[in-house]
Amino acid sequence: MNSGALFLAVFLACAVEAVEATTIVLAAGTARDWRSALVGVASGLAVLAVVIAALGPALSAIPLRSLRLFVGALLLIFGLQWLRKAVLRASGHKALHDEDKIFREQLAAARAADNRSVGLVGDWYAFTLSFKGVVLEGLEVAFIALTFGSNQHDIPLAALAAVSAVLVVVVVGVAVRAPLSRVPENTMKFAVGVMLISFGTFWGAEGAGARWPGSDAALLVLVPAVALFGLALVAVSKPSAPHRIASTPPTSPTSPQAGF
């Protein structure tokens, strides 16, 4: 797996999580209090920094073969979940992920909540909403960056990709002060699901002792194969149009077939 593929995989996966976190923070700040929402963001980032500082060295201490087997299994689990949801949405069996709708729901819930101050935080609801959004989505970003980076012995590049994705999404969100509904999130989730399954299969097999033909070049076959499989699932899962029974014009009483 070359540096470009590593950067792209981490960037796309982290961008999806950043869109969801940004939508939550925008709702908290718009409906309630921006200062409290931003304090929640800062507190969430501080918690994430502690978690990453503890988790990073722990991952580095695991033997590479065991790490690849463990991470490969986790990526397969996450990737299959993401691809399953993307296939269901693309085939019409599940509603599309609508950031506009999520933003409106978060906005309505924030406006309906009681206004309560705790200590230096003027609006506790805005604080907790932003804090939980940043921590939950941030943990997934950290997991993606650390696991990908550890497997490729390039945590700095994975971290750069993660930070870049978050900054791009945040800048766009702050610029428009609206949900990022134009981001093709469902398409991104399909692509990320394909990559997670591909890398999970690749690393898991290596961790189990298998050797891929062509080494990292096998990903050039594995990724398109998984993508084609996902697209095939979308095609066969789309509900077919109801069969229409062609109506036969009634037989005329004078017709030679009348009475049969």
Q: What integer pLDDT is reported at residue 163 of this predicted model? A: 92
Backbone angles phi, psi at 121, to 5 degrees: -90, 115
Q: What integer pLDDT is reported at residue 250 of this predicted model? A: 43
Q: What integer pLDDT is reported at residue 245 of this predicted model? A: 40
For residue 2, is it left (φ>0), alpha (ψ between -120 and 50) or beta?
beta
Mean pLDDT by groups of 10 residues along the chain of 260 residues: 78 84 82 85 91 73 72 81 84 68 65 63 81 87 83 84 91 72 69 83 85 81 90 82 42 38
DSSP-assigned letter for residue 216 = G
pTM reported for the whole predicted model: 0.63
Domain map of the chain by residue range? 3-237
Distance separating alpha carbons of residues 244 and 49, to the nearest angstrom: 60
